[in-house]
Chains A and B, each alone.
Chain A
């Protein structure tokens, strides 16, 4: 009987311990997502020349998909215009937007010159998000600040926005995308995104 009680206490203690460890992991996981993504980027940069554009794209595709919430970002960048798109258009936009995101990483992070990422701090936002403050040290230039905004998705965290040296990628893209949608329409927006993907692949 005593043994059973002890077992129950041990079980409860164990559960509590597990819960607190889980809570710690949860709060640390946003940081882990960024840490893993930045490590992946540096790894691809180091092999950048050897891999070529398509090699970098293939390596970065899972890294970007597993760290970014691309469908959500695609929805936010068109703002209220999202509701006006039909299912097929929404799917098309999410698809080309995802390709553009991976392509721009593959194009812009193509070689390694001694750059290093450092995570400086993290903070929670009022709406339950997490901001990871980090910076990229460049060998011959001022460091670039990278602030990542993450939201919880299922049991993990995903990047929603990146603010580089104070410029929000999400806000910038939303201004551009909504302006094009309103002035020139959906087909032009898709054509312009595809043109950018092609240009990245050519260079």
Chain B
């Protein structure tokens, strides 16, 4: 397995994603239908349920539930920190997770936040971006919402890495309420954003798509705004703005992916060497 298999896997994802990347929304017709479907489900099912949840659940419990699931997400954050070779950030996020899981009573209290340790925002989609996999086309999934071709397998990976997904391993009676609670809480927290979209958007579908794609792009760049972003916007007035992300040709993308993967692999090698050295030192101390 190791590096060769992993590299093949990444390259195959890269090609699938790139083949779809001709335009950022080639499935607009399908996506709009899915968007309308999700909108109806939200209006008639999710929103009333979330409102009831907010009504019957005290704010303290709501915050506790949010903290609990957010803390479990910490496992994903640490894992993706490491996969992106952000080793010092991964140490901070691991410290945050450990502190909240212990002193924060299993994650219900966000102790780390009070001492100024903010959680990083990392997921497997960003990891794939760091490895050079292009974003691919925009996709709206039933019940789930906005995503991209690259984001789909990434979401599955993140779900598999999140301990909340394994509540069923304990017992079904715990699993079902945990999943429902998680979904209701997520919807209740999204209330403000959805209200803003309803108020501000002239075309809710386009507004959601553009803000989602831009937000994902911003996470890839760790929130840094390039000073050329608006110059690009002025220069390319004749072109589609969202196409900016998808301009590179196949060869370039492949080269970038190979280089990024190479540098990540190099960092892994270095870390492995450090661990090896540390182990040797410990062995040496033992024998003294």
Contact = CB atoms under 8 A, between A and B. Distances in A.
B66 to A, nearest CB: 12
Interface in B240-287: 240-242
Interface string A80-114: 10000000000000000000000010010000000
Interface residues of B, number: 32
Given A167-B214, A176-B210, A180-B202, A79 B225 contact: no
Interface residues of A, number: 40
Interface stretch (B104-112, B150-158, B231-239): B231-239
B225 to A, nearest CB: 5
A176 B206 contact: yes
Given A149-B230, A171-B214, A171-B241, A163 B225 contact: yes
B96 to A, nearest CB: 15
A96 to B, nearest CB: 11
A106 B150 CA distance: 39
A193 B199 contact: no
Contacts of A177: 202
A170 B238 contact: no
A142 B199 contact: no
Given A147-B225, A166-B215, A175-B242, A196 B202 contact: yes
B207 interface: yes
Interface string B186-226: 00000000000001111100110111001101110101010
A153 to B, nearest CB: 14
Contacts of A179: 203, 206
A152 B119 CA distance: 38
Contact of A166 (B201, B209, B225, B238): B225
A172 B210 contact: yes
A80 B239 CA distance: 8
B218 A166 contact: yes
A76 B214 contact: no
Contacts of A58: none
B2 interface: no
B233 A170 contact: yes
A126 interface: yes
Contacts of B230: 125, 129, 131, 149, 160-161, 168, 170
B5 interface: no
A176 B233 contact: no
Given A79-B237, A179-B206, A196 B214 contact: no
A165 B228 CA distance: 16
A123 interface: yes
Interface of B: 118, 199-203, 206-207, 209-211, 214-215, 217-219, 221, 223, 225, 227-231, 233-235, 237-238, 240-242
Given A76-B234, A125-B231, 8 more contacts: A104-B200, A125-B230, A131-B227, A166-B221, A168-B233, A172-B207, A179-B203, A196-B200
The 9 A-B residue pairs whose C-beta atoms are closest, nearest first, are: A166-B218, A149-B230, A127-B231, A147-B225, A171-B241, A175-B210, A192-B202, A167-B214, A125-B227
